[in-house]
Structure 1
Amino acid sequence: MTELRFDGRVAVITGAGRGLGRAYALLLAAKGAKVVVNDPGASMKGGDADIGVAEEVVQEIKAAGGEAIASTDSVATPEGGAAIVQKAIDTWGKVDILIHNAGNVRGAPLKEMSQEDFDSVLDVHLRGAFHVVRPAYALMCDAGYGRIVLTSSIGGLYGSRNQANYSVSKAGAFGLSHVAAIEGAEFGVKSNAIVPAAVTRMAEGRDTSVYPPMEPDLVAPSVAWLAHEDCSITGELLVSIAGRVAKAYVAETKGVYQPSWTIDEVAERMGEIGDRKDSIVFEPVPNGHAEHIGYSFGMTKG
């Protein structure tokens, strides 16, 4: 089997100074990619920046014979996102790969969560994704090639207690990825979301002693494959947790059609409505949106 490499490719990786992002940067660089290591070195709550964090990873890559540069701009603003992407353009003239991994955590019960904590997390995870995707995606479309990997979460799929801001952000991330995949298909741009789990700074405060091995290195190969030119999927969610790699997807029950409904009838037929037998999956690409509508309309015709 031929070794999958990234020779000649330029990758921008946000949140690459520690944890998962660092693992992604080291792996892609080891396989030949030129890497923009972006990380302002902030704490998990978003403050106390350490601009040396990104440079440490750059030096580690260079010591191993790779090519990398540091970026300490924040994804939390449009200007910061544009500057991160521009760093790749100024240095190597292009962006082939964008991996948005930057994150922060400000947990609180929903009834107690402040607007500041809600916005702070969305600014990094979700708005931050848009801030880097928007400039990178346009360049990729113009070049006729690109790979985008956004970070979702099991919290984004299933929700997570005391993490409304995080869960909302991670649900939004795969929505953004789907749109980039749909609109990018004609331009050679593929976009997918990774649903990773690893023991990193985000696990602080949890008892991880009973966890199986969950190092960032276990997730990195899946992300690297999504970033590779041979990646065969787009508009999908790839799960990587404790050595398990799987696909997550949205499914619908077959549903029930009636030409009119009352509240009582909805209640009476909820068992049929929710019957998961013969569930249906509408893939985002090429046009799951239209397929969903077409299927629903088709039921009106029997």
Structure 2
Amino acid sequence: MNLDFTGRVAIVTGAGGGLGRCHALALAARGAKVVVNDLGGATDGSGGSATAAQKVVDEIRAAGGQAIANAASVTDFAAVEAMVAQAMDAWGRVDVLVNNAGILRDKSFAKMTVEDFRLVVDVHLMGAMHCTKAVWPIMTAQKYGRVLMTTSSSGLYGNFGQSNYGAAKMALVGLMQTLSIEGAKSDIRVNCLAPTAATRMTEGLMPPEVLAALVPEAVVPAMLWLVSQDAPSRAIACAGAGTYEAAHITLTPGQHLGVSADTPERLAAAWAAINAQAGETVPLSGAEQGRNEVTQALAARR
């Protein structure tokens, strides 16, 4: 299988450096026309300049590809709509959206300000929502779309000092779960990528030999697969240092305990068995949890 993007139009946010730049270059190298979006700010979201995006565009063009620069903040829906209009004016379609833009405001929850929590959620979650909302009607009309959310191990599994970032990143998984269901009839496939990469946002956090293994380029193959024509939908792929994994939100079989005065105590006694992972499943929709609960409840009455 050859992952070819000839004739496809892609938007990559936060593509002025690090992982986003690698994503944009890789898509262009495989034939995609790319909107390189980057606010050009610092890792904490301050400042802004179109220079970073334009440098990547220049790289793509120098290699024979097609690209345009955009400096919209993903937190500004009107600016995002203008970015999508820019892509449509230039190339007439949008096939791929890689939601990669992000910032960090790391602090323990006790020391974190409400503003820093809200801003990180605004950039990661609302930013991805704005971009996806802007391309959704186009992808629906053309009956084709590939949307990638950038989640994180910090969201999936937690990380000290990143309550804001982790909350936003796990929220993107929830957004992906529902959009993959809603987009299926129009062949809009929505996935999540949890990258481990040494970028501007992670330098200084890891020793040099680890940073050397975690080059952003090692994450790119997972991105290309998840936005390709034959991509899965509703996948959570994890990638770093050339290793690739899949994460799942699972449900254990559980036990029916009924509702009585001593149910809390019986639940406490049964918790180890209820929490055991043997026999767990990956629900295809939220309704499956309720179905499991009601099925066991009705069976217990017979």
TM-score (norm: length of structure 2) = 0.95
Aligned to 2:70: 71
Distance in 2 (alpha carbons) for counterparts of 1:47 and 1:23 = 22
What does residue 281 of structure 2 align with?
280
Partner of 2:230: 230
Show the 5 A alignment for 1:1-302: 2-211=1-210, 213-231=213-231, 233-261=232-260, 262-283=263-284, 288-302=285-299
Between the two proteins, the alignment pairs up a number of residues equal to 296
CA distance in 2, matches of 1:208, 1:180: 38
Equivalent position SS for 1:247: strand
Residue type of the alignment partner of 1:154: S
Contact 1:195 1:239 in 2 (8 A): yes
1:296 maps to amino acid: E
CA distance in 2, matches of 1:80, 1:179: 25
Helix, strand or coil at the partner of 1:263 = helix
Distance in 2 (alpha carbons) for counterparts of 1:80 and 1:53: 18
Contact 1:219 1:240 (8 Å CA) reproduced: yes
What is the identity, as a one-letter code, of the residue corresponding to 1:107?
D
How many Å separate the matches in 2 of 1:170 and 1:95? 24
Task: Give the deviation of 1:301 after TM superposition.
Answer: 2.4
Q: What CA distance in whole angstroms lies between the structure 2 residues aligned with 1:42 and 1:300?
A: 54
Task: Tell me the SS of whatever aligns to 2:201.
Answer: helix
Gaps in structure 1 of 5+ consecutive residues: none
- Counterpart-to-counterpart distance in 2, 1:154 and 1:123: 19
- Distance in 2 (CA, whole Å) between partners of 1:207 and 1:181 is 35
Question: Which piece of structure 1 moves more, 13-22 or 267-276?
Answer: 267-276
Tell me how far apart the structure 2 counterparts of residues 34 and 51 of structure 1 sit (CA, whole Å): 19
Distance 2:83 2:157 in 1: 31
User: 2:77, 2:186 → 1: CA distance?
Assistant: 24
Q: Deviations over 1:25-66 (max 9, x none)?
A: 000000000000000111001112232000000000000000
Cα distance in 2 for partners of 1:86, 1:180 equals 22
Partners of 2:5 and 2:31 within 8 A in 1:
yes
Please tell me whether the aligned partners of residues 84 and 132 of structure 1 are also in contact (alpha carbons under 8 angstroms). no
Q: Does the 8 A contact of 2:73 with 2:79 survive in 1?
A: yes
Q: Partner letter of residue 219 of structure 2?
A: V
Contact 2:251–2:289 (Cα < 8 Å) also in 1: no
Q: Is the Cα contact below 8 Å between 1:77 and 1:123 reproduced in 2?
A: no
- Contact kept? 1:16, 1:22, Cα under 8 Å: yes
**What is the CA distance between 1:258 and its match in structure 2?**
1.9
Distance 2:207 2:16 in 1: 22
Q: CA deviation at 1:237?
A: 0.3
In structure 1, C-alpha distance between the alignment counterparts of 2:224 and 2:106, rounded to whole Å = 30
Aligned to 1:300, the other structure's residue is in SS state helix
Displacement, 1:263?
Answer: 1.9
Q: Which amino acid aligns with 1:170?
A: K
> Displacement, 1:13?
0.4
**Does the CA-based 8 Å contact 1:192-1:236 persist in structure 2?**
yes
Identity of aligned residues (%): 38
Q: Which residue identity lines up with residue 225 of structure 1 in the other structure?
A: W
- 1:56 aligned counterpart, secondary structure: helix
Displacement of 1:92 after TM fit? 0.8
Cα deviation code 1:68-91 (max 9, x no counterpart): 000001001212221222221121
